[in-house]
Structure 1
Amino acid sequence: MKRIDDLPNLVQAGTISTEEAVKKIAEYIYREPYRFGLAGFDDDFKSEIILTVLQKGAQVFKRFDKNCGAFGSYLYAFVQGLILTQKREEIRKFIADSNMKAFSYSEDSERTDESPPLIVAETKARYAPVSNTKIWKALTRRCKPKSASDAKTALILALKSSYYIPASSVDEVSSYCKLQSAELQRLIAELNSLLYSRIERRNMIVRRRDNAYYFHRKYYMQLKLCDKEKTDTELLLKKYRKQTESWKRKNKELQQSRWRVCPTNKMISNILGICERQVSHYITRAQKLIREKERETETADIPE
């Protein structure tokens, strides 16, 4: 650790720049991760920490006080802070992306307690569950005449986005449509089972995208930290560019409509026992409502 401990003095004396010193720190972490408590983490996690060091490492030279201890000890504490932050970020992402029912129900119950309008969710338990083909007629019976069309529109849109809709939204749509959550979940599950082949095709592209991104980051790290005299940097750069291009290309592909997982109007009509024309009607109605809302917003923004 002696060379690392000398870095603050070298930077202060102008022997090396702060950028060069940060790179040396990143190289040291890359080669000996166990010294910083990184041995038990996967390559992706380590790469994120090293990239953060490259981006924010300059601050350690501004904040380090040699009267408080060795630079190596301070650096270890700094990296441990980055590890903790990265762990929290991964947990946050996991919770945000997770569709676990336990989390969804807990979140919804808290929201119901705080927001009186959502108490209507409790009344849906009074409705006897009905089969898929009877749900459409049940909406007419359960909803007031003026709100039945809105409820049907919401149901069609929820089914159209069956693959993407989060659990919390399922509960909200169920409450709005006067359905039991289990009824809507059943419809969504059956639609998604019909979309299995589409889901698999999309997942295949996602896996290829993620694989390309992994190597894009890996080769980037190697280019940043390698010994230029002992490494074939041209070959490494070629690999990096190839994987970067592949990653970007796959991202663009996933934006194309052919990779979207969306049930057809025919699938929805079959599962509800209604004609396809009705499904189209309510989708068109939703589009019309959105346009009207946009016009209202634009009008409200115009100064008098």
Structure 2
Amino acid sequence: MTILTKNIPTADIIVEAHERIKPFVHQTPVMTSQSINAISGARLYFKCENFQKVGAFKFRGATNAVFSLNEDERQKGVATHSSGNHGQGLALAAKMQKIPAYIVMPENAPRVKRLAVEGSGAEVIPCKNTLASREETLQKVVEQTGAITIHPFDDYRIIAGQATAAKELIEEQGQFDVIMTPVGGGGLLSGTALTCHYWSPLTKVIAGEPSGADDAIRSMKAGTIIPCPQPSTIADGLLTTICERTFGIIKDHVSDIISVTDDEIVAAMRLIWERMKIIVEPSAAVPVAALLKNKEEFKGKKIGIILTGGNVDLDKLPFR
């Protein structure tokens, strides 16, 4: 048994994380749509993390990680790399603790997300739009500042925090046939898989993944992590590659990952905007796209879908 496997969050750790963050996060609403049910042929329950603080589920993990730090660690501040939502979550959590935050962001990150990070008082450090540049820049920042790295997903405190979204969904709506999330780095997917494993073991966990950033699908087929060489997708929050921590949980507890194209993502995003009258970003629409692409597989089933975020640059909408 490896150290990573041995330290996977237990049910008790997820409960502790939930209690730790409850005073600070929103218990987001669960919404339904009769028209989307009719289109899909399934009974859908949307956990609306687009209404979470900072507009995304990432605030859950960031809050758990920051509020888990001891006093010496807090004094050093925190640092991370992020295309936006994790950066926003970490910046706000750090602000609540009155500690510095340093957020490395790719130059092409949505303007709305960069402004939100800066609005919480964090320092934004730009980098090139590659994972290597993100990691190299972050390493330099940590060396210069001494800040504690809070990785967007390669951290069990983050995974435990993200697990609380599905925990709330199950507690409110009961057992599901399937719970669906998108997958990028795998923090939400692995946290959701653990929640179902502990509290709803008959529930299948299925993810949607952009075809242009399909490392999770490649890795599941190969049984080992296979990075996507040049990830490219409209779902900017899903450009990262899964890690050993998240993959270890995903390969043991996730039933399937479904690939979707950018056109399918945009169509699902537009459907949610039009039928539910709520704003979601492309990454949030990915599991909906996966469901609509495979209607027969999900027909007649009770399905929970975590709508991961709603931070959209309104000057660059993918539809008119």
The alignment's TM-score, normalised by the length of structure 2, stands at 0.22
Higher strand share: 2
Q: Which of the pair has the greater relative contact order for Cα pairs under 8 Å at 6+ separation?
A: 2
TM-score normalized by the length of structure 1: 0.23
